[in-house]
Structure 1
């Protein structure tokens, strides 16, 4: 079983768009003005367990014939983002699915887009909360950023990942399955969108150069003699950012923007099973997205073997707080 964990070494602007409203020209005939629009929105539920189907439905009222484009928007720290869209019926009715695949508590609203003949409108914002199916254990304050200045992936772009499980434990096929399961757990807790690109021969060496150019996250198993990282016998795995540059968070504060990140797992660790391998990867993936060790034994970020006693796939309360702080709800991260 692994003895301890450690983070990989860390290497170390955007212009906000201005939205300008343009009124009607002075003296314009009222018949040339867009028809007034009114948008309603009703939510089938506003507090649910993750995975529970939720819809928002309503009507876009105007005096113009035809269908209208409507967009479901969600509020994150950096502003409103699109999460779904559709067209109304000819009578103005619409139905859209509300995302419940990840844990969050934020406001959502429906936007009816402006057309040449009809004005735009926005429904009243409503808070929707999606929670785990389990009761998270431990202290919700038991979390830490990986560095003083923070290091995060940009949650507003898709994170591509590859896996090198040729030496994976307990066997390559099981290791690959464990990697996917752990990534799914991270996605559910952060709101990050991951895209699997396939297998690779690459091995994470703690630097961005060791990661394929098309890959944001690399998960690999390797022997101690195949890397300068200390992954055995002292440590079961290493996780952390590869290449890091300065970025700007939603509050305009300078932080580390991870352009890629990775995990190097010891391929010679004894006694690993699907469960223990997934638990190990759940720990290391938190390093990969920007979190550090804590003392609370109920958190997956505890650096001891206590993680192997935790329920598989069930984050602790502190884990969830930290993952929220580095996830989509915390807003986009832009280049400095």
Structure 2
């Protein structure tokens, strides 16, 4: 069963920023989304902590502005049914077709032969950035498959006025920077769950479940307690020890606090920055200790869009591997 990683300490508070400004909302990410046990998945790496004293604990894969769901690394150790070796001296019996797996979609659904888009050019000077999860080589970031569409669905319950438009605008910005192609599947009544199934054929058909964007109250999601206003994360899968790719994720936004944020001066820009921060975690960026970057782990006045370091990391995440076998 995949390793479950602890959430952030609900009693922790982020310190005043180095410049002396006190951000109003926590931008904490929890990495490590628990999933139902499936034979072809294995636990991810050990949980790690965010840098800097006084910061809330990071779980283990990716997250953004307040946190609710993260990414669990799923690797496949069990071969596909049609790859099973025949007994010694016997040829494989092809007379009866083997049933397709029931815990994942048919291989190659919506996979194209080449990336569907192109990342925006990264700033020449680069900048500080970090990745939530890397491949076995210790350097290449885990990312969404650029040869596939990234579907997302929004659960509208509890959304503030203009909330859906806020999400769509942030998705468009992420798509522009990474080159990933996002498609909105419309509203969904799926309720966020800690052990969300990545494959839900009865609800979404023969494909990976879409990214779920939901507005939740603290009562519905205790991880949104206090100043935490959102959480996001994705799940990575692989065949055996092959390349890991993210296939779906969850973004949870605080239904109680967003109206308060939007009502403040420059509140729409602040709220937009929060959703962008979340979506950056969704596609694979981790926190950095530079408060000029949007991926700094707390909101900073005036920092509401991606800076050079964020853009450099996102451009790289848009150049992930195409894995049509999944």
TM range (shorter): 0.5 to 0.7
Match of 1:143 among 129, 150, 153: 129
Q: Which has the higher contact order (CA 8 A, sep 6+)?
A: 2
CA contact (8 A) 2:231 2:252 kept: yes
More strand by share: 1
Cα distance change on mapping 1:335 and 1:204 into 2, 3 Å: farther
My pick for the range that moved more, 230-239 or 269-278, is 269-278
User: What is aligned with 2:281?
Assistant: 287
**Are the structure 2 counterparts of residues 156 and 247 from structure 1 closer, same or farther at C-alpha, using a change threshold of 3 Å?**
farther
Pair 8,164 (structure 1): closer, same or farther in 2 beyond 3 Å: farther
Select which of 186, 192, 195 maps to 1:198.
Answer: 186
CA drift of 1:4 comes to 3.2
CA displacement, residues 194-253 of structure 1 (integer Å, 9 cap, x when unaligned): 11111122243344428865342111110122135x112152111101x431269xxxx8
Aligned 1:63-74 pairs, distance under 5 A: none
Distance 2:198 2:156 in 1: 16
Distance 1:211 1:266 in 2: 26
SS across alignment from 2:288: coil
1:247 touches 1:334 (CA, 8 Å); kept in 2?
no
Match of 1:158 in 2: 149
Aligned residue for 2:322?
Answer: 332
- Is 1:269 the counterpart of 2:302 in the alignment? no
Change (3 A) 1:224 1:156: same
Contact 1:179–1:281, Cα closer than 8 Å, also in 2: yes
CA distance 1:165–1:7, shift in 2 (3 Å): same
Q: How far apart are the structure 1 equivalents of 2:194 and 2:236? A: 11
CA distance in 2, matches of 1:256, 1:186: 21
Q: In the comparison of the two structures, how many residue pairs are matched? A: 212
1:1-336 equivalence runs, <5 A:
1-9=24-32, 10-11=71-72, 12=74, 81=114, 103-104=120-121, 140-149=126-135, 150-168=141-159, 171=160, 173-209=161-197, 214=204, 215-227=209-221, 230-241=223-234, 243-246=235-238, 254-269=242-257, 271-273=260-262, 274-306=268-300, 308-310=301-303, 312=304, 314-327=305-318, 329-335=319-325
- 1:265 deviates by 1.2
SS, match of residue 114 in structure 2:
strand
Q: Would you say the 8 A contact 1:204–1:263 is kept in 2?
A: no
Please say if residues 152 and 333 of structure 1, whose CA atoms lie closer than 8 Å, have aligned partners that are also in contact: no
Quote the RMSD (CA, aligned, Å). 3.2
For 1:143 and 1:82, the matched residues in 2 are separated by: 23
Note the residue ranges of structure 1 that are not aligned, 5 or more in a row: 14-78, 84-98, 105-130
Deviations 1:279-300 (A, max 9, x none): 1110010111111101122211
Residue 157 of structure 1: how far off its partner (Å): 0.4
For 2:255 and 2:172, locate their aligned partners in 1 and report how far apart those are by CA, in whole Å: 22
The answer to whether the Cα contact below 8 Å between 1:6 and 1:235 also exists between their aligned partners in 2 is no
Q: Is the Cα contact below 8 Å between 1:298 and 1:316 reproduced in 2? A: yes
Q: TM-score, normalised by structure 2?
A: 0.57
SS at match of 1:224: coil
Give a deviation string over 1:262-316, Cα, whole Å, max 9, x none: 111111216222322211110010111111101122211111111x412x4x421
1:286–1:323 contact (8 Å) kept in structure 2: yes
Contact 1:208 1:260 in 2 (8 A): no
- Taking the aligned partners of 1:300 and 1:207, their CA distance within structure 2 comes to 29
1:238–1:265 contact (8 Å) kept in structure 2: yes
